[in-house]
Amino acid sequence: MIETTETSGAHSPLVFSGMQPTNTLHLGNYLGALRNWIKLQDQMPCVYCVVDMHAITVAQDPQALAASTREVAAAYIAAGVDPKRSILFNQSQVSAHAELAWVFNCVARMGWLNRMTQFKEKAGKNRENSSVGLFVYPNLMAADILAYRATHVPVGEDQKQHLELARDIAQKFNLDFGAPDFFPLPEPVIVGPGTRVMSLRDGTKKMSKSDESDYSRINLTDDADAISQKIRKARTDPEPLPDSIEGLKGRAEAENLVNIFAALADTTPEAALAPFAGAQFSGFKNALADLAVAKLTPLAGEMRRLLNDPAEIDRILKDGADRARAITVPVMQEVRRLVGFVG
């Protein structure tokens, strides 16, 4: 059971979340978000999206994008998203996302978007040459959530600022169009020890799909050998493990491995550390490798099985898109009326 905050207003609880189909999903995506998605299915209706329109904010090879969209859908299902209970689809099949994003482009302020740290990180020195889509990406993310009037959004720590922006957009829309409670202010659900999984090579950097070193991350498609090797080679410091979690402060790599252990074992960092207090890293790493292999390899196997039948994945995505559209149609009708669009 995941503790969730109640949202203001009279909106029925609904979860929305999504992941970009760019490269393979990794342990950070799994522990920060996907695992919580699975649990939330027992608590409220859930809508889970493969956000292919977000992916094209940077250049994508069309064939690779299509393959990656199916792969991410397979990862959702393999991890436990039930496409019958929850709605699973890819964003580009439901036009409400793009339509509402345009309205939000006209609600959000330049100053708000200028503050987004992820744009600064992604654009880097190449700001002038970034796509306009990359800059307004958070508006599309707000549209994803609010087209369903979703109340809860399970994500990793790095999406917190984007969610604050989604709340600001919802609030300004409600105010500007005289509809005080039209959109809910969506609550981030950022819970558990895996909300910010760090690189295995550098404990100060987030584990990321775009890191050039494959040893920095564990991909959900890695086999047992790759997982074990990456954990054994993970950077640590020369000290033994501390007696308590306070002793992990200032030891980013050690703290990261303990958090990963706790998240995979579904326990607290304190409980994960206790049996290894004062020990060298080698024994801890062996246990962590065994745990990661036990938890992750069945998922990779199930993904491979699902990907053998891409037509079935496409069928699931289409069925999900039909159900998703049915939720967005009345919301968009009301948005059009509030904004003053005729017809």
Helix (H, G, I), strand (E, B) or coil at 202: coil
Among 141, 165, 293, 306, binds ligand TYM (CB under 6 A): 141
Residue 69, interface with ligand TYM (CB under 6 A)? no
Range list of H helices, 7-155? 27-29, 35-40, 52-55, 62-79, 96-105, 110-114, 117-123, 132-146
The nearest distance, CB 168 to ligand TYM, in angstroms, is 15
Among 28, 83, 184, 269, binds ligand TYM (CB under 6 A): 28
Q: Smallest gap, in angstroms, from Cβ of residue 316 to ligand TYM?
A: 19
Q: Which is nearer to ligand TYM, 12 or 244 (CB)?
A: 12
134 contributes a contact to ligand TYM by CB under 6 A: no
CB of 66 to ligand TYM, least distance (A): 17
Task: Report the distance separating Cα 152 and Cα 40, nearest Å.
Answer: 10
| Nearest distance, CB of residue 54 and ligand TYM, angstroms | 5
- Catalytic residue check, 84: no
Q: Which of 39, 160, 172, 209 is catalytic?
A: 209
Other C-beta atoms lying within 10 Å of the C-beta of residue 288:
24
Q: Is 328 exposed, middle or buried (0-12, 13-18, 19+ CB in 10 A)?
A: buried
Q: How far is the CB of 277 from ligand TYM (least distance, A)?
A: 25
Q: In this chain, which of 71, 144, 211, 222 binds ligand TYM, going by CB under 6 A? A: 144
User: Segment contacting ligand TYM (CB under 6 A): 29-37, 106-114, 231-239, 329-337?
Assistant: 29-37
Is 285 annotated in the active site?
Answer: no
Per CB under 6 A, 87 contacts ligand TYM: no
**Residues written for the chain:** 343
Count, in order, helices (H) and strands (E) of the chain: 14, 5
Binding residues for ligand TYM restricted to 146-205, rule: CB under 6 A: 153, 155-156, 158-159, 162, 194-197
Instruction: Confirm if 155 and 16 have CB atoms less than 8 A apart.
Output: no
CA angle 46, 47, 53 (to 5 degrees): 160
Strand arrangement of the beta sheet that strand 46-50 belongs to: 87-90, 46-50, 15-19, 152-154, 187-189
- One-letter amino acid of 213: S
Ramachandran category for residue 156: left, alpha or beta (phi over 0 → left; psi -120 to 50 → alpha): beta
- In eight-state DSSP terms, residue 282 is H
Judged on CB neighbours under 10 Å (0-12, 13-18, 19+), 323 is middle
Check if 209 is active-site: yes
| Beta pairing partners, 16 | 47
Residue type, 39: K
CB closer to ligand TYM, 52 vs 276: 52
Which of 39, 122, 160, 172 is labelled catalytic? 122
Quote the DSSP letter at residue 85: T
Candidate list 14, 15, 33, 292; residue touching ligand TYM; CB under 6 A = 33
> Residue 82 CB: number of other CB atoms within 10 A?
12
By beta carbon distance, the residue nearest ligand TYM is 32
Nearest approach, Cβ of residue 57 and ligand TYM (Å) = 9
Q: List the interface residues with ligand TYM, window 199-238 (CB under 6 A).
A: 206-207
Token look-up 């059971």 returns 1
DSSP annotation of 244 reads S
Q: Which positions from 44 through 63 interact with ligand TYM, judged by CB under 6 A? A: 51, 54
Give the interface segment with ligand TYM, choosing from 10-18, 128-136, 264-272, 313-321 (CB under 6 A). Answer: 10-18
Catalytic residues: 122, 206, 209
Interacting residues with ligand TYM (CB under 6 A): 16-20, 28-29, 32-33, 51, 54, 141, 144-145, 153, 155-156, 158-159, 162, 194-197, 206-207
